[in-house]
Amino acid sequence: MTDKPKVAFFDFACCEGCQLQVANMGEALLEVLDQVEVVEFREVMSEKWKDNFDIAVIEGSITTPHAVERIKEIRERSRILIAYGSCATNGGVNGMKNNFELDNIRGYVYNDSAKYFPTIPTRAVHQVVKVDYFVHGCPVYPPEFLRVLKCALLGIPYHVPDESVCVQCKLNENVCMYERGLVCLGPITRAGCNAWCINNGNICYGCRGMVSNPNENGAIDVIKKYNIPMDLIMNKMNMYNKCRELDEK
């Protein structure tokens, strides 16, 4: 055993792609593993840790009664808890489930057998337990994860960028999607991803969640200028931002 900080990864309802982003770091991963002791990481390890964790990295949304109990138990055993990836930080695409009545969506997928599959409305991790750090994104942007991990190890706060994706997008000199006739959620979505999707010719889907103080008047101007139907915008908002409703209650 070493006295290196003990780090564990846990997954809830998600695709585990954010964990995979760690494996995708290549040999740089070995440098990270030099600084910490990974004591539990189901995606790649059989080992399990019975003690407390210095850092618990949580991937996925809370969607079953069992998951609520499990995340509470992990929180109690963790000095620092990091919500990792959109599913954990804002419900991610799992939030779309909340656009439907639970019985309706359960019955659609499993018909008469629906009763075997208990489910509750999707919640982000901070809507169930206290979260110390947020790494937004679907998937996470690896350079940001390394920044957050460093902050957590040093015990200093990490400030999630709170300007819109447009700021980084403009710096990258992309042609605005609105100018190309497409509706993009960049103007109201938190930066920090380096405008990943727009750099690659796609629109912003809002995976990092809304900035804390969106420029509503500006957004209304844009919607008017480009004659955008309200339901189109709302539908897009409901892909990653549906769980926000639970914050406002």
Q: 116 near 165, Cβ under 8 Å?
A: no
Long-range contacts for 171-176 (Cβ within 8 Å, ≥24 apart)?
A: 172/198, 172/199, 174/198, 174/199
Residue 91 DSSP label: -
CA 194 to mean position of chain CA atoms: 16
Indicate whether 108 belongs to the interface with another protein (CB under 8 A).
Answer: yes
Per CB under 8 A, contacts with another protein among 161-180 are 177, 180
Indicate whether 47 belongs to the interface with another protein (CB under 8 A).
Answer: yes
Binding letters toward another protein, positions 129-148, x by CB under 8 A: ---------xx---------
Using the minimum distance from each CB to another protein, give the nearer residue, 80 or 138: 138
Using the minimum distance from each CB to another protein, give the nearer residue, 162 or 170: 170
Nearest to 205 by CA among 166, 162, 168, 239: 239
Nearest to 164 by CA among 111, 214, 107, 110: 214
Indicate whether 36 belongs to the interface with another protein (CB under 8 A).
Answer: no
Q: What minimum distance in Å lies between the beta carbon of 136 and another protein? A: 14
Indicate whether 205 belongs to the interface with another protein (CB under 8 A).
Answer: yes
Q: What minimum distance in Å lies between the beta carbon of 21 and another protein? A: 6
Give the number of residues in contact with another protein, rule: CB under 8 A.
71
End-to-end CA distance of the chain: 45
Using the minimum distance from each CB to another protein, give the nearer residue, 202 or 215: 202
Indicate whether 46 belongs to the interface with another protein (CB under 8 A).
Answer: yes
Indicate whether 212 belongs to the interface with another protein (CB under 8 A).
Answer: no
Q: 75 near 50, Cβ under 8 Å?
A: no
Indicate whether 2 belongs to the interface with another protein (CB under 8 A).
Answer: no
Q: 222 near 178, Cβ under 8 Å?
A: yes
Indicate whether 69 belongs to the interface with another protein (CB under 8 A).
Answer: no
Q: What minimum distance in Å lies between the beta carbon of 15 and another protein? A: 4
Cα dihedral: 16, 20, 22, 28 (round 10): 170
Q: Which range of residues in 125-133, 155-163, 194-202, 210-218 is near another protein by CB under 8 A?
A: 194-202
Binding letters toward another protein, positions 113-132, x by CB under 8 A: x--xx-x-------------
3-class SS at 126? helix
Which residues have C-beta within 8 Å of that of residue 154, sequence separation ≥ 6?
Answer: none
